[in-house]
């Protein structure tokens, strides 16, 4: 009798547990269905109401680029919904512009996008095959300069190597970086206000040659420490009262000495 009574009680308990499990499962699915329905309703509202459609695009940091060109490159239109706008894609499209060094795209609800850029600044004109290219301080090609347009100084010529030159590329020839460093050091001295640079021939990393309109000779710069070389140039210029007895070249590459021929 004891065994029979225990077995009947166990079956009743099992049935109750199954019912509770079923009820809990149904409750869960009903809850999920309710949440899903609410979410779908909000989704449809967000799409159809146009409350979150982009109405304003703020552009910050533009100097060389036109805001209309930036907006066109971003791909943002008034049909874009701010909730679903892929700001990473906007940033990537902006970084495809050679002039853009960095870009950040930000959403401000309900309807505003801010595009914040840092531009590359033209630092020199690279002359290759009689064509002029703007480059920045990192040797990135910004654009090919149309004939007749003004060119940023200095003009860098005679760069070796077979690397293609086209907008957006970072040029790897070290001679270009050397030429820019020598130019920067020279411009920091007072002599730069008194003579006019016409060209920098970047022949090799240890052979950078500057040509000036007022001087009948070239000035040769070395591999490193351009600041010291520029100071030697300045000191010699003052010591000789702005007249140097050179006919062919002035060589600044020999530590504290200079060679004049």
- What pLDDT digit, counting tens, does each position of 185-197 carry? 999 999 999 999 9
Q: Of the candidates 79, 103, 119, which is a domain's last residue?
A: 119
User: In residues, how long is the chain?
Assistant: 261
Residues 190, 131 within the same domain: yes
Q: Mind listing the pLDDT tens digit for each residue in 220-250?
A: 998 789 999 999 999 999 999 999 999 999 9
Residues 2, 73 within the same domain: no
Say what the pLDDT of residue 158 is: 95
Tell me whether residue 251 is exposed, middle or buried, using C-beta atoms within 10 angstroms of its C-beta: 0 to 12, 13 to 18, 19 or more.
buried
- Residue 47 lies inside a defined structural domain of this protein: no
Cβ atoms of 220 and 207 closer than 8 Å? yes
Q: Residues 6 or more apart from 226 whose CB is under 8 A from it?
A: 181, 182, 184, 185, 186
The count of other CB atoms within 10 Å of the CB of residue 126 is 25
- State which residues form the domain around 196: 124-260
Q: Of the candidates 99, 119, 139, which is a domain's last residue?
A: 119
Tokens representing residue 148 in the block: 């007749």
Q: Mind listing the pLDDT tens digit for each residue in 143-187?
A: 999 999 999 999 999 998 767 899 999 999 999 999 999 999 999
Taking the whole predicted model, whether its pTM rises above 0.85 is answered as no
Residues 177, 244 within the same domain: yes
Say what the pLDDT of residue 254 is: 85
Q: Mind listing the pLDDT tens digit for each residue in 100-130?
A: 999 999 999 999 999 999 999 999 999 999 9
Residues 132, 112 within the same domain: no
Residues 142, 231 within the same domain: yes
Say what the pLDDT of residue 44 is: 59
Residues 67, 92 within the same domain: yes
- Residue 153 lies inside a defined structural domain of this protein: yes
Band (6; pLDDT cuts 50, 70, 90)? very low
Q: Tell me the average pLDDT of the chain.
A: 87
Residues 135, 113 within the same domain: no
The count of other CB atoms within 10 Å of the CB of residue 252 is 25
Average pLDDT on 9-21 reads 63
Percentage of the chain with pLDDT > 70?
A: 82
Q: Is the pLDDT of residue 47 over 50?
A: yes
Residue 117, phi then psi, degrees to nearest 5: -120, 155
Total domain count, the chain: 3
Say what the pLDDT of residue 8 is: 47
């Amino acid at each position: 009798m004891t065994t029979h009574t225990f077995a009947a009680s166990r079956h009743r308990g099992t049935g109750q547990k199954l019912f509770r499990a079923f009820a809990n499962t149904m409750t869960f699915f009903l809850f999920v269905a309710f949440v899903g329905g609410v979410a779908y309703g909000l989704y449809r509202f967000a799409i159809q109401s146009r409350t979150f459609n982009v109405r304003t695009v703020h552009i910050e940091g533009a100097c060389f680029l036109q805001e209309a060109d930036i907006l066109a490159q971003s791909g943002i239109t008034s049909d874009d919904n701010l909730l679903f706008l892929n700001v990473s894609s906007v940033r990537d499209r902006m970084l495809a512009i050679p002039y853009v060094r960095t870009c950040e795209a930000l959403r401000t609800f309900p309807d505003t996008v801010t595009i914040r850029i840092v531009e590359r600044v033209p630092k020199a004109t690279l002359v290759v095959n009689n064509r002029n290219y703007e480059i920045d301080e990192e040797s990135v090609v910004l654009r090919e300069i149309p004939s007749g347009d003004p060119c940023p100084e200095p003009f860098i010529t005679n760069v070796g190597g077979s690397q293609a030159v086209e907008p957006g590329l970072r040029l790897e020839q070290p001679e270009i970086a050397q030429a820019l460093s020598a130019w920067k050091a020279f411009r920091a001295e007072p002599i730069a206000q008194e003579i006019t640079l016409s060209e920098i021939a970047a022949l090799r990393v240890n052979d950078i040659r500057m040509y000036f309109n007022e001087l009948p000779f070239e000035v040769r710069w070395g591999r490193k420490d351009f600041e010291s070389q520029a100071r030697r140039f300045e000191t010699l210029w003052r010591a000789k009262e702005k007249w140097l007895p050179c006919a062919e070249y002035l060589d600044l590459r020999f530590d504290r000495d200079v060679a004049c021929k």
